[in-house]
Amino acid sequence: MSSDDSSNAPRERRDAVREKALQVQTRQKRTHLIRTVSIAASIVAVVAITAVVVTWAVSSSASRPMLQPSNQTDDGFVVTDATGLPETGGPLSGTPTPTPTPDADADADEATPAPTEQPVIDIRVYVDYLSTGSRDFQLANAPQLARWVGEEAATLTYYPVAMLTAKSNGTKYSLRAASAAACVATHSQESFFAFNHAMLSQQPELDSDGYSDSELADMAVASGADHPKVVRSCIEDESYAAWARQATERALQGLPDTQVALTAAPMVLVNGTPYVGALDDPKEFAQFVLTVASDAYYSATPTPTPTPTATP
């Protein structure tokens, strides 16, 4: 073997090793590139799928109209049946009856007679089912409220609001309870008063989880709700939660036919006048109602118009 062949052998081996290293490096770069492209493609796919899901959810929510409860006026539910409570409340009586003034002119029979019927009193209660004040007012006044409604001496309207939604460990109990009340008022109007009373008399503790939707549905059925399956489905689906939230916002901005806005629950209005007395004193509330009724009576009584006298 020549000396030239011996000197070229190490160089050829180095070249072969270098070429093999370059091949390995090229393969590694190709593998890394493929992996990077695959990861990027996967991320793009995930983002695309997420975007589609979000878009579908938003469009679906936007296309689905907010459910509005039936049997409501200005976000309130009129009590049509107030039976089933103890008969301890007294009748709405005590309004003074005006004594007619004798007419000096016997022939002056043109005066308009005073009305003999007392105007019906309008009682409105804005109620949060987690409010202890709402519970105290209901327990103290429910019997006489039921009595007045039964005698057709007063109309009684409850307005479910959710001002204490944040006071139930994240379960939004106030909002869910207001939605449940709307479900019963919509599908079983006659049992609304009984269900409203049950939720307040069995009120959970503030800052607790409150009742589950299933438990609220059980309470509604126990209160005599008609169409129990429909009522249960409505309550467990929280069908009127969005409505209850917006109804609360509207009340905070201003109450219908008044110059006041909701500031706390309960807020009780009698002929539009807020009651500021003790919530747990039925006698004080009854006296307030009678005073408002008396004012309404005299305001509705026309003043006799004197008969013009002919000039000789």
Residue spans of beta strands (DSSP E) within the chain: 77-78, 121-127, 154-160, 267-270, 273-274
- Rg over CA atoms, the chain: 37
Q: Could you tell me the two tokens for 48?
A: 């695309």
pTM: 0.70
Q: Are 204 and 283 contained in the same domain?
A: yes
d(CA 133, CA 263): 13
Q: Are 151 and 248 contained in the same domain?
A: yes
Q: Are 172 and 296 contained in the same domain?
A: yes
Residue 7 counted as domain residue: no
Q: Are 228 and 150 contained in the same domain?
A: yes
Q: Are 139 and 212 contained in the same domain?
A: yes
Residue 98 counted as domain residue: no
Structural domains of the chain, count:
2
Expressed in angstroms, the distance from the first to the final Cα of the chain is: 166
DSSP state of 305: P
Residue 61 counted as domain residue: no
* Burial 163-196, CB ≥16 within 10 A → b, else e: bbbebbeebbbbbbbbbbbbbbbbbbbbbbbbbb
Q: Are 208 and 257 contained in the same domain?
A: yes
Determine the distance from the C-alpha atom of residue 143 to the mean position of all C-alpha atoms in its chain, rounded to a whole number: 24
**42 is in which domain, residue-wise?**
13-56
Residue 171 counted as domain residue: yes
Residue 51 counted as domain residue: yes
Residue 62 counted as domain residue: no
* CATH assignment of the domain containing 254: 3.40.30.10
One pLDDT digit (tens) per residue for the chain, 312 residues: 555 555 566 666 666 666 766 676 677 667 677 777 667 666 756 555 555 444 444 343 334 478 999 999 999 999 999 986 655 444 454 433 333 333 434 443 443 334 446 679 999 999 999 999 999 999 999 999 999 999 999 999 999 999 999 999 999 999 999 999 999 999 999 999 999 999 999 999 999 999 999 999 999 999 999 999 999 999 999 999 999 999 999 999 999 999 999 999 999 999 999 999 999 999 999 999 999 998 877 766 555 544 444 444
Q: Are 246 and 289 contained in the same domain?
A: yes
Torsion angle (degrees, nearest 10) of CA 195, 200, 205, 209: 30
Q: Are 24 and 152 contained in the same domain?
A: no
* Burial 87-112, CB ≥16 within 10 A → b, else e: eebeebeebeeeeeeeeeeeeeeebe
Q: Are 232 and 168 contained in the same domain?
A: yes
Residue 191 counted as domain residue: yes
Edge to edge, the sheet with strand 121-127 lists 77-78, 154-160, 121-127, 267-270, 273-274
d(CA 179, CA 68): 11
Q: Are 174 and 45 contained in the same domain?
A: no
**CB 195 within 8 Å of CB 181:** yes
